[in-house]
Chains A and B, each alone.
Chain A
């Protein structure tokens, strides 16, 4: 397994959320893709726009925060040379 995981999928595994649980959080936050579509995004089978990726990232970050962590998943445009 030489291929690298998408940062979102890696984060999902790190916080131990099932795809179903992550999707429910993503949907709660305003996500508009189905669970299947979201899973396809995680696996890189679908290209999502910035907004969709960000909503997934927020769902993951909020889980990290619940576990006492930081917000490690970057949002679109989160650059060192911000602006």
Chain B
């Protein structure tokens, strides 16, 4: 390696009243992105209401850095927070915009050169001529950007609680607990006792509902009088006149996101038949959440974008190798890559990976 460049990576974190500001210096690449990711991760976990990323001193960012931004934006979105990016370089802004990540972050003081540079990079495509008609994808992204209308989801979940309450024999009350903005809350309940039962669990930090929502499998208390798990919660439940509880997790993409809770004033109220019905209603409630575009979709789409960014990186590197080997422009290198992949009858990504690997085989100056 030659003398260290001016762009040594560094992150400075500053705090003011309501926000944490990360100032990133130098180059964010595969080597330094994990540090940036870890730093941002801590701030996300600490639940600062606002997180700002200042890129004024950024010199370079590759796909690894973009992944960190996409990941942080997605994580903040799950708790209804938003990432602010200050002084975004035009090329970074462009990638964030076309991946849809841009719709999930807030850009501060947008650079007036952004549009011009963006157009230049498109080389031939004139964004101004684009009709503004929503596509399937942008609809998808819009759903990710703005959370589903809570009240519609809540109404559907309330219907599930009513149905469960009237279908499951022995049920004296039903509630649905859901993880929202990073914490569990009751979003639908059939009566006040049930609402208080849920509140007792949130207050004591324990109980079958919390356990089901955290661990993703069901919990059944046959008899509260004989229950020795959750010592803080159980006495409060008995005081409410409840004798048995069945909590079934709500799953979204194999991840527990809440629980359907059925309470009874009788002991051993729920046999195998009732448990089966509870599972059915829980799966219905899960389906409503999925249809409503809960966080899962957010994650799935985020994953696709991250995979795509990685693939682009490999292809760009292969094109770089071809440019150096054949002394051609980027576009000619891309054309060469496309043709040779077609001739070899392999996917372009696979072909690109082979080219990058072949370049690595050649011992370099610092090998």
A interface residues, Cβ below 8 angstroms from B: 18-20, 23-24, 27-30, 32-37, 39-41, 45-52, 54-55, 57-58, 61-62, 65, 71, 75-77
Contact = CB atoms under 8 A, between A and B. Distances in A.
Contacts of B46: none
Contacts of A45: 129-131
Given A24-B137, A62-B348, A36 B99 contact: no
B342 A36 contact: no
A74 to B, nearest CB: 10
Interface centre among A27, A39, A54 (most CB of B within 10 A): A27
Contacts of A57: 338
Contacts, number: 109
B96 to A, nearest CB: 11
Name the prevailing secondary structure of the B interface residues.
helix
11 contacts: A27-B312, A29-B348, A32-B121, A34-B98, A34-B130, A36-B138, A47-B124, A48-B124, A49-B124, A52-B124, A61-B342
Contacts of A29: 311-312, 315, 348-349
Interface of B: 94, 97-99, 121-127, 129-133, 135-138, 140, 304, 307-308, 311-312, 315-316, 319, 331, 334-335, 338-339, 341-342, 345, 347-349
Interface centre among B98, B316, B319, B334 (most CB of A within 10 A): B98
Contact of A32 (B122, B130, B132, B347): B122
A65 to B, nearest CB: 7
B124 A19 contact: no
